[in-house]
Structure 1
Amino acid sequence: MDGLPPAPITSLTPELAERLREQTLDVLSYLVKTNSTTTYFKESAVLPRFRAALHLTDGSQVDALDLSATELFEVYHNNVGLSVYEDYLPVISRFFEHPCNKSSVENLMAPGLPVFIAHSSGTSGGAAKYFPKYHHPEHMSKAMAETIRRASPPSRNGEGKNCITFSLAYRQIITPVDEVGNIAKQIAVCLLSSGLGRKESNMPVERDAFSSTLRVPNCSSPIAVSFISDYKSFLFMHALFALVEPNLETINPIFTTGFRDLCRTIEDHWEDLIHCIETGVIPDINGIEAVKDNLQHFLQPSPDRAEELRRIGKATETPGWFRRIWPQLRAILANASGPFATLIPEIRHYTGPDVSIQSVAIVSSEAFLAVAYDPRDLNLYKVIGSDDVIEFLPVDEPEESKYLAQSWNVESGRKYEVILTTRDGFWRYRLGDVIEIVGFDPRDGQPLIRYIERRNMHIRLANEVTTETQLRNVVDATSDLFGRVSEFCVSPDYRQAAARYAFFVELQGDPGADISATPAALHDQLKKHNENYLKDSRMGKIGVPCVRVVQPGTFGDYRAWVIRTKGGASGQVKVPVVIWSEADRTWLEEHVMYDI
């Protein structure tokens, strides 16, 4: 492969360590000088020691203080504790007051009014969280810019297209009003990807009617598709316009689960899609009424392409079927690490060996953490550290700020929780994601990481705590018995005297010949990976797991249900590895074909 990165180094030279230290000090200096004027900084109960140490109680400005970058870092390090979302909620909630007064929300977390407010997917076991996103100068947006660049690569021959399945839908519009009642700005509450798409393409919500008439030259789908809220209709339209385009080079569904849902859409609606291509008629399907005319404008009859697709046929059993549909297809750009890795075999069946699967970045609603380092390794990322201060809390130390490590003194092979001080006004915020340091980039010293798990994602029925990673490992270890597992999640099962784990499993293809042995095999693996699980099972507190095989397409339908009933957004609903919600468990139980 051309353009491969150099092999990681396991320790930093003094020169590289100093380079990382200088970068962190520069970013911190900017963040403190910029955001110390905000309402949150001045009012937060998390920051009084920091304010006092900076002598800001008299209203003076940080940039007027006689502090070097090194001194400022020491004050920050010693006086800012860890924070969680609940610390910010009382302030962020001001955006959702009625009326929303401009004077109450201007300069709230960072200077000015937000460009948009990102909401989390709300699928990690709780309600959605909200993160105001502000305008920042170019030198504070390098990680964001690099992520965007990788998500939409240029065509190799100048004629290729990308299928990017991002949504422009929003949850609501916030309209701060000034002292005379005039609307100061319309602020969309939406996914991070939606807000960035609007920002980078200059598509504010005020121009949605016009934007929905456009088409980005290198994209297969017209922009109108991105305004469809119904998940299944959203996928159908992306599939339709992708099939029209024989020169498709890349597909970017953000997560592997989104690609799998797109594959299923093409498979399930093959004849309908070809009929649309042949006739050039957009069908009447749910949720497209507002943009149907705009969609119709971009779909012209193409009987030759329809005939070509019919000759190819719905060859779902043939490995590499998609390369016959799109001979130039070269890459699937999707997060394929952590819980998204189980879908890789199914994706490779559709694409064949000549289409690469490439992770793009680790991005959360809070920040841009890292970009993919080596295209051959789907779970190897490079920390950027140019937009925010990224610190590392060892998972084997007390959860206190004094134990934080910096990019220049983290240790290879050690696991850390990521802690963020962001350009958008969050201070030593606990992201909750656990990563492992696996080395450093020899060119600039930046840490190289692997995503491990969510720190708070686990299941506990007795004295055991079984983590997300352990659950994935036990499924991987028993995969030969299952057949091919496409997706799974785990939930408590109380139908017997001893509580047990219920594995909801969707298979790719037929079940394995020895699938009846999976409950006992999962039980053995859980005991092997978790000493407390072993003890509790011996004491009769935990029973042998049950395996509940769900109907094909269930997890895609689950994502559509979440979007429809819980205000999620197309393309970014994640199924948590552990599900506690009674409503979610009931929904899954209704789709069980049989228990093992």
Structure 2
Amino acid sequence: MSSVNEFPPSPITTLTPELTDSLHKRTQAVLSYLVKTNSISTFFKDADILSDFRGALSANDGLETILADPERLFSTYHENVGLSAYENYLPFVSRLFEKPCQTSSVENLMAPGLPYFIAHSSGTSGGATKHFPKYRHPEHMSTSTSQTMQASNPVSKRGGKNCIAFSLGYRQVVTPINEEGDVGRQIPVCLMSSGTIRMYSEMTVERDPIYKTIRIPNNSSPLACSFIPNYKSFLFMHALFALQEPQVELINTMFSTIFRDMCRIIDEQWETLVQCIEAGTIPELESIENVRENLQTFLQPSPDRAKELRKIGKATDSPGWFTKIWPGLRTVVAISSGPFATVVPELRHYIGPDVVLQTLGINCSEAFLALAYDNRDPSLYKVVGSDDIIEFLPIDQPEESEYLTQTWNVEVGKKYEVILTTRDGFWRYRLGDVVEIVGFDPRDGQPIIHYLERRNVHIRLANEITTEKQLQDALASVSQSLGGVSEFCVSPDYRRSIPRYAFFVEPHNEYDSTAPRAPATLHTYLQQHNENYLKESTAGKIDKPSVHVLKQGTFSDFREWKIRATNSASGQIKVPPVVWDEVTRKWLEERVLQEF
């Protein structure tokens, strides 16, 4: 990843023979490592979806023989490993949650040894939570993790501080028991980000009481903040310690929506925060009892800093208020592309035009997919080619493994679903993310991509299918008339005889006099850009959308509500683009200020 002051070369559109050969050899090397390493796993030996692969390896003189011929191994893999989904792994992964969990049952389950942690999906869309065992790997197979961790908490050459708002909490701890009845390892079930930080820094669950007493020298917040389970309290305390520190240079919240929520807390609770800094006191906040004493240790009275902050005041009328609070603020690390781009105008109001809004990469619970390519364009990502096998399924081809395309064969401008074979024992796993190829890095040939959407996220009321990207683009056509939409979701609206799409929107500002025309504008846009929507609406099967304007702060409250409901840590809850479940829909309807 490039630093703020260094920019990468422009992507090229055609690979040279040398780059093609390099990509080919790199993929073969990674595949050889994965097959050799994970062939001892229970999943590799027993899973039905790998039976053809196992048979082909045996027919080709065995594993050791074929490992000596990388080209032959790749050919055998390509021809005999089909696409997989989470259902193929669930019978194996579920062994980790048996009561009691026996070490003999889960050791070498997906990869050698025991997992260091188990990543869980957010389950925001109402589906069942998925679990992904994550294992420690050698340094040469963990380059994306190392790069991401180094970029997420860099050491300033000027002595500046970082505000790192990451959670270290977990949903539960899995404790496999050996034949003697002893617990060999405590395995946290947590967010991918939480587990990655723990694994990279070798932070075991057993030592959590010690971590809660520590503040990393270049961080504004003590680690105790990262153990606060309540979302609003978590953000308040990170904001409090950041405000106390005038030398903050970087703020890292992972997602732009979380940073926006922190901005609003600073805005709305400014006087309370300044008073706490002046007196060195912590207010009564929910769910901080277990770390309150640890937090108090680091919050000493700072009357001079409080005086500085009062002199600055709530300068929210002009962009760049935060650069007055922190004159050295240079970078905000937060994913701000795709569905997270809508909050960027509001963020810019707080940080101004010169602070770099930087994305670490596309990091999902399953694997690290891509790293940010160019800080000037947060939508550009470079595919990681060193840790996992990443393949591409053209979205206009049958959903079968024989149509998979390799990194050196993808076409610029074409859209693909990402397929993963991972270090952690998943084989040709359908990630469901759709990307568009922008070009290739001229230095090593890796594809440069735009993230587009989730393949399986759409709304359908008749015989049309409207994708997440189409919904985003449609809303962009009316965003300004609705006050600048910062977040939204869509739900089916069956209150009339003809169904319609219900857009729930949270604006940054007041909507204007043209807002009542938004439903008609959305309807026209969808008709012009979705042939089947046009056909079904013309036939009277879909009516004009309804638009529901939510009160400001609704989606921040949604994140807090979902964290409570799912027992998840702060940091990964996202607003689902399409809401189907009745509970969430009713929750949103209770917060509607105006309907058009």
TM-score for both structures, normalised by structure 2 = 0.98
How far residue 385 of structure 1 moved from its aligned partner, in angstroms, is 1.0
Alignment pair present for 1:466 and 2:466: yes
Q: What is the rounded CA distance, in whole Å, between the counterparts of 2:217 and 2:314 in structure 1?
A: 29
Is the counterpart of residue 483 in structure 1 residue 483 in structure 2?
yes
Q: How many residues align?
A: 593
TM-superposed CA distance for 1:56, in Å, is: 8.1
Matched, 1:151 2:149: no
2:9 to 6, 14, 17: 6
Q: Distance in 2 between matches of 1:552 and 1:151?
A: 29
CA distance in 2, matches of 1:357, 1:215: 25
Q: Is it true that 1:68 corresponds to 2:69 in the alignment?
A: yes
1:528 aligned residue: 528
1:124 shift after superposition: 4.0
Q: Deviations over 1:285-330 (max 9, x none)?
A: 1100000000000000001111111111122222111111111111
Q: For 1:420, what is the secondary structure of its paired residue?
A: strand
Aligned counterpart, 1:269: 269
Bigger mean CA deviation after superposition, 159-168 or 86-95: 159-168
- What amino acid maps onto 1:118 in structure 2? A
Cα distance between partner residues in 1 of 2:59 and 2:94: 25
Q: Distance in 1 between matches of 2:539 and 2:132?
A: 46
Contact 2:103–2:176 (8 Å) recurs in 1: yes
1:61/1:246 CA distance change after superposition, 3 Å? farther
Q: Please tell me the residue identity of whatever aligns with 1:563.
A: I
Superposed CA deviations along residues 169-190 of structure 1, whole A, max 9, x for unmatched, are 0000000000121111100000
- 1:110 maps to 111
Which letter does structure 1 place at the counterpart of 2:585?
R
Tell me the secondary structure at the aligned position of residue 55 of structure 1: helix
Q: Distance in 2 between matches of 1:370 and 1:195?
A: 18
| Unmatched segments (≥5 aa) in structure 2 | none
Distance 1:65 1:367 in 2: 27
Asked if the contact 2:136–2:199 (Cα under 8 Å) also holds between the matched residues in 1, the reply is no
Q: Does 1:50 align with 2:57?
A: no
Matched, 1:173 2:173: yes
1:216-249 superposed Cα distances (whole Å, 9 cap, x missing partner): 1111110000000000100110010010010111
Q: Deviations over 1:373-408 (max 9, x none)?
A: 111111001112100000000000000000000011
Q: Which whole-Å CA distance do the structure 2 matches of 1:8 and 1:190 have between them?
A: 36
Do 2:172 and 2:189's aligned partners in 1 also have CA atoms closer than 8 Å?
A: yes
Instruction: Report the AA paired with residue 39 of structure 1.
Output: T
One-letter code aligned to 1:186: Q
* Other structure's SS at 2:79 match: helix
1:238 and 2:238 are equivalent in the alignment? yes
* RMSD value, Cα: 1.3
Q: Give secondary structure in 2 for the equivalent of 1:380.
A: strand
Superposed, 1:375-394 pairs within 5 Å as 375-394=375-394
Distance 2:339 2:541 in 1: 28
Q: What residue is the counterpart of 1:373 in the other structure?
A: 373
Query: Displacement, 1:156?
Result: 3.9
Local SS of the residue matching 1:437 = strand
Determine helix, strand or coil for the equivalent of 1:54: helix
Tell me, yes or no, if the aligned pair for 2:482 and 2:510 is still in contact at 8 Å.
Answer: no
Report deviation, 1:203: 1.6
Quote the Cα distance in structure 2 between the aligned partners of 1:556 and 1:56.
57
In structure 1, distance between residues paired with 2:460 and 2:100: 43
Structure 1: runs of 5 or more not aligned: none
* Helix, strand or coil at the partner of 2:203: coil
Assess if the C-alpha contact under 8 Å between 2:170 and 2:568 holds in 1.
no
Query: Using a 3 Å threshold, how does the CA distance of structure 1 residues 106 and 311 change in structure 2: closer, same or farther?
Result: same
Q: Secondary structure at the match of 2:48?
A: coil
Q: Once the two structures are superposed, what CA deviation does each residue of 1:475-529 show, in whole Å capped at 9, x if it has no partner?
A: 1122232221111110011111110111000010211231111111111111111
1:354: how far off?
1.5
What does residue range 21-420 of structure 1 map to in structure 2 within 5 Å? 21-55=24-58, 62-63=63-64, 65=66, 67-157=68-158, 159-420=159-420
Summarize the Cα distance change of 1:101–1:64 in structure 2 as closer, same or farther, 3 Å threshold.
Answer: farther
The AA in structure 1 aligned to 2:281 is: V
SS of alignment partner, residue 578 of structure 2: coil
Aligned partners of 1:475, 1:582: CA distance in 2, in Å?
23
Preserved CA contact (<8 Å) 1:468 1:577: yes
Q: Which moved more, 1:529-538 or 1:397-406?
A: 529-538
Tell me if the contact between 2:32 and 2:67 (Cα under 8 Å) persists in the aligned partners: no
- Residue 557 (structure 2) aligns with: 557
C-alpha separation in 2, matches of 1:63 and 1:171: 41
Which amino acid letter does the alignment assign opposite residue 207 of structure 1? R
Secondary structure of residue in 1 paired with 2:503: strand
The aligned amino acid for 2:514 is D
SS at the partner of 1:346?
helix
SS at match of 2:391: strand
Identity of aligned residues (%): 61
Contact 1:37-1:61 at 8 Å conserved across structures = no
Q: TM-score, normalised by structure 1?
A: 0.98
CA contact (8 A) 2:416 2:435 kept: yes
Matched, 1:545 2:548: no
**One-letter amino acid of the structure 2 residue matched with residue 267 of structure 1:** D
Is this contact kept in 1: 2:433–2:455, CA < 8 A?
yes
* Structure 1 residue 61 displacement after superposition: 6.9
CA displacement 1:540-565 (0-9 Å, x = unmatched): 11111111001110000000000011
Select which of 20, 23, 34 maps to 1:20. Answer: 23
AA aligned to 1:353 is P
Give the CA deviation at 1:65.
4.6
1:536 CA displacement: 1.1
Q: 1:475 to 1:408 in 2, by over 3 A?
A: same
SS of 1:117 mapped into structure 2: strand
**How far did 1:89 drift?**
0.3
Alignment of 1:426-437 (within 5 A): 426-437=426-437
